[in-house]
Structure 1
């Protein structure tokens, strides 16, 4: 994945302690692991940096929130296993070294909000019930802040903490974000302003992007652990190439076990509710359709499985709850993880539900 970034002026000041609740870009980018691993319930620059590095290594910690909770620990354990290291869910000096030495780009970069980011339309207040969504033209984001947070795989709280006093609804506003995606227009503009150099042409940017983008082998097999809430992705040589946290089924609507096939992949899908699903709180006795959108019932991406009766892998409107709440039987991931997975799946990939 290409990562173009704007150089930041990094200070040599001491990093914030674990209890810091308002981290800065400098604190995160210069953070080093102390004797104690980052806490699960407090924002920590070390945790932020580690989460960004895991995300860029295709070992997803889910939503980057600055707290080293269950999803980050699962990702770290998968990273350790892939590297053949003994350490697991606990962030040790050995694992910290492996993370930081293989990827030395800054974890936090500056980003200029675009007109597209604030264009909308935004849906606020957001309907809470499925039946209230069926007549809407789209189920978009509630606010520009929510859209920007999801664009950079972050929680809204962390985005706000990194940008105190900033407005997220104004184009051209400079903000700090997690360095997890490519944004060539902003990277180009920022570099030109800081260096006074001649901006690169679109062709030069395309060439650079094509040359530097790492290629991920097609994913031919998924191993989904229902109890642990994890999705492991393997290539044809049985090497794990990606990892994701997930919510898998519930006691009321458990996901079937067995081996299945991927039958289709759909970005920005419509959602069709069938009364046979018998979802709690839905009173309609007739089928209805909900238009696409990141805050829809299946988020912004859908992967159909050969299970039947509407089972699949999909995104969610609530990334903070992935791996922490129950689903209606499907495999629920963050929108960005579901899309990344779908875009790298081989045709008729095998899906094993354990």
Structure 2
């Protein structure tokens, strides 16, 4: 296993609000959040693409840049005309997988509902360093991440007055994995993390990966140089651009502790001390860090999945926690990584 501590020169610049613990007792979202009806046809396409390895980001039943990118990747991989649209040819290619329904009705298990949760949740890394873990803030946030969606989407699927807690029967986007038979050499803790994020165990082996800034995606190719997976990504900014060039994967840290060093972060308060920020799904680097051969840079998860592809970062590559965890099953030390504009 790779080091459990990571020191990085990159961090997301955007944040977003989430519901408070009191609001989370019912399936309720912030008043500013959209609870518009879900387009179930779009959600069905998102679900199938995600299970096939072409992640649309959050499963929300909405068209947008992440779904367009996922469609383009899938179309390229299947030899279709690349349109980025849900066109007839693409629907025919998706048709054999129609049994993967867009939603599942499930009962919230007591083990899921009990937490632990971290609320109130400090935004400051120095304050975060005093905590034992950066857990989910509440059950609504936890369920949203487990099913690769947003709190607002769960509200739209279940209504504002639906009960939230152990034993509650709720409708979720169908992010359930195709298998949970994770590699035996992984730690029990990491296997539990993969299961909690509904990551499918059986993944293709990456012969190389390409991070493409122009398209805002990370692509995975197998030994036959076939595109086998694609994930939306946040990568760099005008002040901290993506480090272009040829790199290699050095290793992977699971549920890492983040070594916060303000000297490496242009947006940090330079009066802050260096501290160790504990692990957890709400860590600024998410649940996994995939180290690359450029010092202080890597591919990692996020505490704000809905911002992937829309926010900026300080040079690193951010994926949703579930996509970063999935990628960790595909790569290994020595895997080539091309970062291109």
TM-score range (shorter-chain normalised) is 0.7 to 0.9
Higher-Rg member (1/2): 1
User: Using the alignment, how far apart are the partners of 2:230 and 2:177 within structure 1?
Assistant: 20
Matched, 1:155 2:150: yes
Q: 1:221 touches 1:349 (CA, 8 Å); kept in 2?
A: yes
Residue 332 of structure 1 is matched in structure 2 by 318
Residue 257 of structure 2 is matched in structure 1 by 270
User: How many residue pairs are counted as aligned between the two chains?
Assistant: 287
Tell me the TM-score normalised to structure 2 length: 0.79
Q: Describe the superposition over 1:166-199 as per-residue Cα deviations: whole angstroms up to 9, x where unpaired.
A: 222x2121111122224999xxxxxxxxxxxxxx
- The correspondence of residues 32-43 of structure 1 with structure 2, limited to 5 A, is 43=38
Q: Describe the superposition over 1:304-340 as per-residue Cα deviations: whole angstroms up to 9, x where unpaired.
A: 01000x1000000111100001001100000000000
User: Using the alignment, how far apart are the partners of 1:215 and 1:277 within structure 2?
Assistant: 37
* Structure 2 counterpart SS, 1:224: strand
Residue 251 of structure 1 is matched in structure 2 by 238
* Structure 2 counterpart SS, 1:99: helix
* Structure 1 counterpart SS, 2:251: strand
Matched, 1:322 2:308: yes
**Structure 2 regions of 5+ residues with no counterpart?**
1-33, 181-199
Q: 2:48 touches 2:97 (CA, 8 Å); kept in 1?
A: no
Q: 1:259 touches 1:351 (CA, 8 Å); kept in 2?
A: yes
Query: Is the alpha carbon distance of 1:136 and 1:305 closer, same or farther for their aligned partners in structure 2, counting shifts above 3 Å?
Result: same
- The correspondence of residues 164-203 of structure 1 with structure 2, limited to 5 A, is 164=159, 165-168=161-164, 170-182=165-177
Moved more, 156-165 or 323-332: 156-165
Q: How far off its partner does 1:162 sit?
A: 0.9
Moved more, 175-184 or 145-154: 175-184
* Structure 1 counterpart SS, 2:220: strand
Q: How far off its partner does 1:283 sit?
A: 3.4
Matched, 1:224 2:200: no
Residue 298 of structure 2 is matched in structure 1 by 312
* Structure 1 counterpart SS, 2:46: helix
Tell me the TM-score normalised to structure 1 length: 0.77
Deviation beyond 4 Å, 4+ runs, structure 1: 20-23
- Which of 41, 50, 67 is 2:45 aligned to? 50
Query: Is the alpha carbon distance of 1:97 and 1:21 closer, same or farther for their aligned partners in structure 2, counting shifts above 3 Å?
Result: farther
User: Using the alignment, how far apart are the partners of 1:261 and 1:83 within structure 2?
Assistant: 27
Q: Describe the superposition over 1:49-81 as per-residue Cα deviations: whole angstroms up to 9, x where unpaired.
A: 111111111100011122111001000010111
User: Using the alignment, how far apart are the partners of 1:306 and 1:237 within structure 2?
Assistant: 24
Output the aligned Cα RMSD.
2.1
Matched, 1:70 2:65: yes
User: Using the alignment, how far apart are the partners of 2:266 and 2:76 within structure 1?
Assistant: 38
User: Using the alignment, how far apart are the partners of 1:234 and 1:326 within structure 2?
Assistant: 25
* Structure 1 counterpart SS, 2:334: strand
Q: How far off its partner does 1:22 sit?
A: 5.8
- The correspondence of residues 129-148 of structure 1 with structure 2, limited to 5 A, is 129-148=124-143
Structure with greater contact order relative to length (CA < 8 Å, sep ≥ 6) = 2
Moved more, 71-80 or 157-166: 157-166
Q: How far off its partner does 1:253 sit?
A: 1.1
- Which of 314, 333, 337 is 1:347 aligned to? 333
Q: How far off its partner does 1:101 sit?
A: 2.6
* Structure 2 counterpart SS, 1:98: helix
